[in-house]
Structure 1
Amino acid sequence: MANKPSVLSTLPKELPLDFLKTSTDQFSEDRILGVGAFGTVYLGIMPDGQKITVKKLVENSPLGRDKVFSNEVTNIMALHHKNVVKMVGFCHEGQKKVVLNNGRYIVADIVESLLCYEYLSQGSLQKNLFEVDIKMDWDTRFKIIKGICDGLAFVHSINVVHMDLKPESILLDDKMVPKIADFGLSRLFGQEQTRMNTQNVVGSYGYIAPEYLYRGEISKSSDIYSLGLLILETTTGQKNCPSNEPSAVQFIKSVRENWTPEHIVFQFSRSDGDCLQQVKRCIEIGLECVEIDRQKRPTIENILDRLNGLCSSTS
């Protein structure tokens, strides 16, 4: 049966500002889904009722609005993978507004930068792991870990480094399929390039790899460090508290000391042998990913091979 195309599928990639204002009810507070360092995310509703998310970038973000806009559009507009959030459009449009400047009203060109994505009904991994009363079952958590790794393998295969992996950057659809979002800090590497350096270190304090935090070194291993923290948080259900420490040193130490095979059996006492083996392997992989020496961290391909070897089915 042929489905009627949705408004979303027929939209151009560049969307008019007035259209996005209408879809978000003039950026109403009631439509706010979240607020971050780079902007405010709104729920947009299309004329046919379909939902999208609209991120309105702020001018004074840590990296600069234009750079964030360019990163997201350049690095994820063409990405199509089941574990990467789908961008459906963008807007970079100036409007004349009357503003107060040094005690006088003047007419100025104000540019608005907006990014539009598919709407994911279950929200962030952060919310589902740490902000709801019902604890996620292990099968769901393991599926999420594998999905994040699949998405990151795809991102790395096209020479993009995400640079901001954390539970807030992983969104879940109605079937709890994870999708990597928030590419505002991402970097595109050249074909032969494996790492680069920067003087401008930005990111989420408790998830930044130490070689990036202290020396400005960027590589795919930077993402692996953040991924390791994601795997450890998802497996243990315990929160890395980024405000307390750089690179999650105490959180990693706590997992390494406390999540012994005996503790895993105690925490998952109602689970079968396959489940216990999966949990144990995820803890091992997570701790390998957060090695201080980036050369000792596994590649994303190695991680996937080990995770997939634990699958009891070919899902």
Structure 2
Amino acid sequence: MPASEQVNHKEEKDKQKMKVIVIVVVAIAVVFGVLLILYCISKRTNFREKLENNVMIDQNIEGQSEDMEVTFFTLATVATATNNFSSNNKLGQGGFGLVYKGTLVDGKEIAVKRLSQSSGQGLNEFKNEVILIAKLQHRNLVRLLGYCIEGDEKILIYEYMLNGSLDSFIFDQTRAEVLGWSMRFNIIHGIARGLLYLHEDSRLRIIHRDLKASNVLLDSKMIPKISDFGMARIVGGDQTEGNTRRVVGTYGYMAPEYAINGIFSVKSDVFSFGILLLEIISGKKNRAWFHPDHGLSLVEHAWKLWKEGRPLELIDTCLEDAGIQSKIIRCLHISFLCLQQHHDDRPNMSSVVMLLHSEGSLPEPKEVGFFVGKKSPSSSKNQPSSVNEITNTVLEAR
């Protein structure tokens, strides 16, 4: 082939190669551009939906609590109060997320409950807790000061409780010594009064559904205040019970009819109170304690001792004063009445409050409910079972 034709042929091949390269580059750029546009649209849509949800909930809360002392806090205000959610300010942690101590610019101390994205408490539960607590005013219920909903953040701001939660005292051998019987009885009575208000005395009839030691907070004077209303349910008029497929709460405190069949009522709260009363008397946690010899749970072991006429063996070693034993045994008796297997056999909270302060005879308890969710196998070598405090809301509860 002549040299001139070889040159032309080579130029033609180079041009074709360049065209292919340009076409490939343009195609890649177009595909990348389309994907980028779709990604931006998706992000914008998600952001808009999240913003609209937050605005709707914010408006809903404002609409129902405009006549109440509930304040909207900006995220910047909350971050400043908690030193940007510093670990040094952390008060505790649960399945819902973290709780921090904060100080507002006016010097007022607050407790900040920052819900985690993995928490079982979603937007509905968040709104539920804000609206419910805003409408409740009682010395034995924790007071909600405000809320924050911004971006992914869902935050509740409470009055600060100097002494933390009840479980940090009764389940700690050292701190438990601070709680003599007089103080424990006052705590029992305060919790009972708080529940009575929820069930009968407030303008709403409310079933808490998650009463437990960690949800009872203690102020500077050791006055108990019931907290965490994210799982609470309002029942109207004369209604005293309901049914749900979505069982929420804490195994070890849940009444058998609720844990198994989803039937909740004021009497399921009474059952939880009975467990709490038993824990305050014994200093042992129902979910985490099993007798080393026969593997019975706290409720089963307590019932066994009661039937054998040995109730004093259950009492916390901090409460061995012989002068108060009869009062403690009376409270133990009331606990068993609250723990009856059938909810119709349990007293209501007005009766419980009356029984706590009277000295008359008490009815004999029938068989108590033993449901604790997970049981340790009977063995002479039983070890306390591990406890998962994380909230799950459908098949297994916290």
- TM-score, scaled to structure 2: 0.66
Identity level (%) = 37
Show the 5 A alignment for 1:219-258.
219-241=265-287, 250-258=297-305
Of residues 311, 324, 339, the one that matches 1:290 is 339
Please tell me whether Structure 1 or Structure 2 has the larger radius of gyration of its CA atoms. 2
Of residues 321, 335, 340, the one that matches 1:270 is 321
Q: Is the aligned partner of 1:148 residue 2:191?
A: yes
Q: Give the CA deviation at 1:276.
A: 2.4
Q: Give the CA deviation at 1:122.
A: 0.7
Of residues 139, 162, 169, the one that matches 1:121 is 162
Distance 1:13 1:258, change over 3 A: same
Aligned residue-pair number? 279
| Equivalent residue letter for 1:80 | Q
CA contact (8 A) 1:261 1:280 kept: no
Counterparts of 1:270 and 1:194, CA distance in 2: 40
CA contact (8 A) 2:70 2:144 kept: no
Q: Which runs of 5+ in 1 are unaligned?
A: 1-10, 95-110
| Equivalent residue letter for 1:193 | Q
Counterparts of 2:173 and 2:101, CA distance in 1: 21
- The structure that is helix-richer by fraction is 2
Counterparts of 2:320 and 2:78, CA distance in 1: 50
**Structure 1 consecutive aligned stretches of length 4 or more whose deviation exceeds 4 Å:** 259-263, 265-269
Q: Is the aligned partner of 1:200 residue 2:246?
A: yes
Counterparts of 1:194 and 1:203, CA distance in 2: 18
Q: Give the CA deviation at 1:270.
A: 2.6
Q: Is the aligned partner of 1:61 residue 2:119?
A: yes
Which residue is 1:104 aligned to?
none
Counterparts of 2:256 and 2:310, CA distance in 1: 31
CA contact (8 A) 1:39 1:55 kept: yes
Q: Give the CA deviation at 1:137.
A: 0.7
Counterparts of 1:200 and 1:270, CA distance in 2: 45
Counterparts of 2:181 and 2:238, CA distance in 1: 39
Q: Is the aligned partner of 1:305 residue 2:354?
A: yes
Counterparts of 1:240 and 1:78, CA distance in 2: 32
More displaced stretch, 302-311 vs 289-298: 302-311
| Equivalent residue letter for 1:128 | F
Counterparts of 1:54 and 1:305, CA distance in 2: 36
1:78-108, Cα deviation, whole Å (9 max, x unpaired): 21111000111111123xxxxxxxxxxxxxx
Partner SS for 1:91: strand
Counterparts of 2:88 and 2:331, CA distance in 1: 39
Q: Which runs of 5+ in 2 are unaligned?
A: 1-68, 291-295, 361-398
Q: Give the CA deviation at 1:238.
A: 2.0
Show the 5 A alignment for 1:1-315.
13-62=71-120, 64-94=121-151, 111-134=152-175, 135=177, 136-157=179-200, 158-241=204-287, 250-258=297-305, 263-264=311-312, 268-272=319-323, 275-310=324-359
- The structure that is strand-richer by fraction is 1
Q: Give the CA deviation at 1:113.
A: 0.9
CA contact (8 A) 1:54 1:116 kept: yes
Counterparts of 2:159 and 2:225, CA distance in 1: 10
Partner SS for 2:157: strand
Q: Give the CA deviation at 1:243.
A: 8.7
Distance 1:202 1:243, change over 3 A: farther
